[in-house]
Amino acid sequence: MTQEIEDKGTHQIIKPPNDLRQKTKPSRSSPPNFDPIAKAEQALHQMSGNFTLWIEEEVAALVKAWSVAREAGLSTDSMDDLFRAAIDIKGQAETFGYPIAGSIADSLCRLVEHGQEGNQLPEPLLDQHVQAVRAVVRERAKGDDSQIALSLLHNLTDVTNDYIAQSA
Amino acid sequence: MTRVDLSTVRILIADDNSHMRRIVRTLLNSYGARDITEAEDGAEALELFKASGPDIVITDWIMPIFDGLELTRMIRSEDASGNPYVPIIMLTGHSEKKRVVEARDAGVTEFLCKPISAKGLYMRVLNCIVNPRPFVKSKTFFGPDRRRFTNPHYAGEERRTEPAPQQAENG
């Protein structure tokens, strides 16, 4: 198989050979009723026993990054580390069963990104986000039935939105 | 659903978070993939890309040394030894539209927002295999055609002077 190239003057359109299609052709011995998504969901469920430990490890990384940032000052490097820890929680908390913690981490990410654009960041608000994520996981506030966790999330999001709007 | 056999497909996962790497590997194994390698940062991922020649790359955005966006640019560059047409799936906590556009402009094939789901990842992998996009090469861009959908009924002249962004696919 060779690639096809179409010259359009300002650019070329290239169709690379699709070896992957050939490589993934099901063989006759492949089970006909195999459902890869159902199998993957089942595998995810089987590993969910680890999720509480894993979210606790992520929270510990966030708390550590924040502690270092407070001691060293809110520098570019320390805020980058805090952002990394926060976006990991934002991306994984729902998978681990803690969607509210993920949403609080999302608010923290937006706040830190706002600071990365040269705006002054309020240390107490950063601290409140970190402590809120920590509390939600510590109290096992997993679903939407935790009114305190939800109210914490809404308040932090509102204050963050106001802050970003006012200082932009 | 289209059936594919992933048992011989070589997949490279680049993510600095060990929990996420384990989740992605578990999902891929469940789909039938067996040949999976992992990298903890962009530099290690580029080394493994050159050494192992993966069929699909799944990368996080934020990683130490260099990030997923830089990794994508390096894989797509003429200097990189290896397959510059390799499908790249960006799996990231970033969800803003500007990030999707930025990833697409760097040469990413598919964009998938975390939290990850079994279906979301499978559909991106399947798309790379079943619906491969042609590549565009111009003075300023090399990567999968950023116009995912071509109107087969369009009979007008080609208006593209540069392969400009037109539509962002959301993950």
Q: What is the pLDDT of residues A127-136, one digit of tens each?
A: 999 999 999 9
Q: DSSP character for A16? A: -
Helix or strand or coil: residue B16? coil
Q: How confident is the model at residue B151 (pLDDT cuts 50, 70, 90)?
A: very low
Cβ-nearest to A40 among B8, B16, B27? B27
Interface test with A, best of B1, B2, B3 (most A CBs within 10 A): B3
Contact B29, A46 (CB under 8 A): no
Chain A partners of B26 at a C-beta cutoff of 8 Å? Answer: 40, 43-44, 47
How far apart are the CA of A100 and the nearest CA of chain B, in angstroms?
13
The helix/strand/coil state of B82 is coil
Task: Give me the pLDDT at residue A4, please.
Answer: 86
pLDDT digits (tens, 9 = 90+) for A93-112: 999 999 999 999 999 999 99
Most confident of A15-29, A58-72, A135-149: A58-72
Share of chain B above pLDDT 70, in %: 85
Question: pLDDT tens across B91-150, in order?
Answer: 999 988 999 999 999 999 999 999 999 999 999 999 999 999 999 999 999 999 987 644
CA gap B61, B67 in Å, rounded = 6
Token code pair at residue A69: 């940032």
Which residue, among B12, B11, B171, B10, has the nearest Cα to B92 in the 3D structure?
Answer: B171
Give mean pLDDT, residues A5-21.
88
Q: What are B30-74's pLDDT values in tens digits?
A: 999 999 999 999 999 999 999 999 999 999 999 998 999 999 999
Report the distance separating Cα B55 and Cα B128, nearest Å: 10
Q: Judge: A26–B87 Cβ closer than 8 Å, yes or no.
A: no
For A9, left (φ over 0), alpha (ψ -120 to 50), or beta? left
Tell me the pLDDT band of A89, cut-offs 50, 70 and 90.
very high
pLDDT confidence of residue A1: 56
Cβ separation of A34 and B163 shorter than 8 Å? no
Eight-class DSSP state of A34: -
pLDDT reported for residue B156: 53
Tell me how close the Cα of B68 comes to any Cα of chain A, in angstroms: 13
Q: How far is B31 from chain A (nearest CA, A)?
A: 5
Residue A65 has pLDDT above 90, yes or no: yes
A20 with B119: Cβ contact below 8 A: no
Residue B72: C-alpha distances to residues A30, B97, B108, B125, B135 (Å): 33, 18, 7, 17, 14
